[in-house]
Amino acid sequence: MKKIIILAMALSLTTVSVSCKKAVNKLGNKVLNLGGTEEANAIIEFNNNLIDSYKNTSKHIERVLKYTEAAAAKSKGENVMIMPIVLSAMDHSFSRIKGVPSGFGKDKAAIEADFTTYKTKKENIEKKFEELKSYMNSEDYKDDRGAKAEMIRKEIETEANAFYISGENLMAKIKPATDAAEEVILKDHPMKEYIISSKKVMNSLDSVIEVLGKQYTGKFNEAEAQKKYDEFAKVAEANSKMEFNVKDQQYAYKKSQFENFNKYASNFLDTYRKLIRDSKEAGKIPDSNIEQIDSSYESVLSAYNSFVN
């Protein structure tokens, strides 16, 4: 089975600050097709909820895929000591999405089409998974020697691939409007320069994750990995050298959060160096290293979101 790696896309997604909401100016109206502040905020909230949903659902699907592999093997008589545990998917962010905001203008219909596919595939995977669990729990595989388990495994893999494609299409289509909305909303914000600089760090980090995700499924390329390391180190260092000097006292507490973000970015570099060294020796990226990168990335992302929110 072709292994689907969620790291490259699902984890390399950064939410936009929704607390920095201000009136949308004429530039925003022109760029975003907006009629007012509510539509600008609706785009950002749609972006944030979709990203959270995509990340959480992708992780859940990865666990489901591991279960299907084990189920197919066990049903054929292979030795499977312990079946993977898959907890119920709790996707509160998805439930907050009531529709595609009108502010996306001419792109709204295309976004709606991808969102419909996203929702359908998400639901189909869950239904197929429940069907497979019932089949395994009742040990019906003893009647057909695992034929149904293999069939469902292939169906879930197909649905999962379609889910990831629709998710990636959505991310690409909503990004331009979301970026424009964010810049407009941040126009007069006291922390604008620090938020924009920190987002550059996250964008570079996302690029690192995308490259490592691809190399994890293929061959490790030390030169490419090192290049991304150098790029990220450069922007991370520049951000850490910024002196947090915001005159508005209501943002004074943000200084420690800004410093915390930079600390976790530095920690990521430590983890990244270890990955390059270990991968060079192994000729591929080891599972343990990709898990460490995953955990470190989540720490940086959490610190970033705490700072900008």
Q: What is the CATH number of the domain that holds 53?
A: 1.20.120.930
pLDDT at 39: 77
Per-residue tokens: 175: 């990004």
pLDDT at 218: 84
pTM: 0.75
3-state secondary structure of 28: helix
The mean pLDDT of 91-112, rounded to a whole number, is: 93
* Domain boundary residue, one of 188, 206, 221: 188
The mean pLDDT of 49-69, rounded to a whole number, is: 92
Examine the domain organization and report whether 202 and 155 are in the same domain.
no
Examine the domain organization and report whether 184 and 196 are in the same domain.
no
Where is average pLDDT lowest: 44-58, 116-130, 229-243? 44-58
Taking 60 as the threshold, does the pLDDT of residue 18 lie above it? no
The confidence band for 21, taking pLDDT boundaries of 50, 70 and 90, is very low
Looking at the chain, the whole-number percentage of residues with pLDDT higher than 70 is: 88
The mean pLDDT of 68-97, rounded to a whole number, is: 92
Please answer whether residues 60 and 125 qualify as being in contact, where contact means their C-beta atoms are separated by less than 8 angstroms: no
Using CA atoms, how far apart are residues 17 and 51, in angstroms rounded to an integer?
13
* Domain boundary residue, one of 173, 188, 203: 188
Where is average pLDDT lowest: 24-28, 132-136, 221-225? 24-28
* Domain boundary residue, one of 128, 157, 188: 188
Taking 60 as the threshold, does the pLDDT of residue 292 lie above it? yes
Where is average pLDDT lowest: 19-33, 44-58, 205-219? 19-33
Residue 30 structural domain? 1-188
Whichever domain contains 209, its CATH number is 1.20.58.820
Taking 80 as the threshold, does the pLDDT of residue 204 lie above it? yes
pLDDT at 90: 81
Examine the domain organization and report whether 160 and 242 are in the same domain.
no
Examine the domain organization and report whether 181 and 231 are in the same domain.
no
The mean pLDDT of 117-138, rounded to a whole number, is: 97
Give the number of other Cβ atoms within 10 Å of residue 132's Cβ: 23
Examine the domain organization and report whether 178 and 204 are in the same domain.
no
Please answer whether residues 55 and 10 qualify as being in contact, where contact means their C-beta atoms are separated by less than 8 angstroms: yes
Examine the domain organization and report whether 103 and 231 are in the same domain.
no
pLDDT at 245: 93
pLDDT at 37: 67
Examine the domain organization and report whether 184 and 195 are in the same domain.
no
Examine the domain organization and report whether 112 and 239 are in the same domain.
no
Examine the domain organization and report whether 142 and 10 are in the same domain.
yes
Examine the domain organization and report whether 87 and 171 are in the same domain.
yes
3-state secondary structure of 281: helix
The confidence band for 16, taking pLDDT boundaries of 50, 70 and 90, is low
How confident is the model over 207-264, as pLDDT tens digits?
999 899 889 888 899 999 999 999 999 999 999 999 999 989 999 999 999 999 999 9
pLDDT at 188: 78
Taking 50 as the threshold, does the pLDDT of residue 30 lie above it? no
Using CA atoms, how far apart are residues 201 and 271, in angstroms rounded to an integer?
16
Examine the domain organization and report whether 79 and 18 are in the same domain.
yes
The mean pLDDT of 86-111, rounded to a whole number, is: 91
Q: Which of the pair, 32 or 244, is modelled with greater confidence?
A: 244
pLDDT at 29: 46
Taking 60 as the threshold, does the pLDDT of residue 106 lie above it? yes
Examine the domain organization and report whether 272 and 155 are in the same domain.
no
pLDDT at 217: 82
pLDDT at 27: 39
The upper half-sphere exposure of residue 287, i.e. CA atoms within 13 Å in the direction of its Cβ, equals 0
In the chain, how many domains are there?
A: 2
Using CA atoms, how far apart are residues 88 and 173, in angstroms rounded to an integer?
29
Best-predicted range by mean pLDDT among 76-85, 126-135, 205-214?
A: 126-135
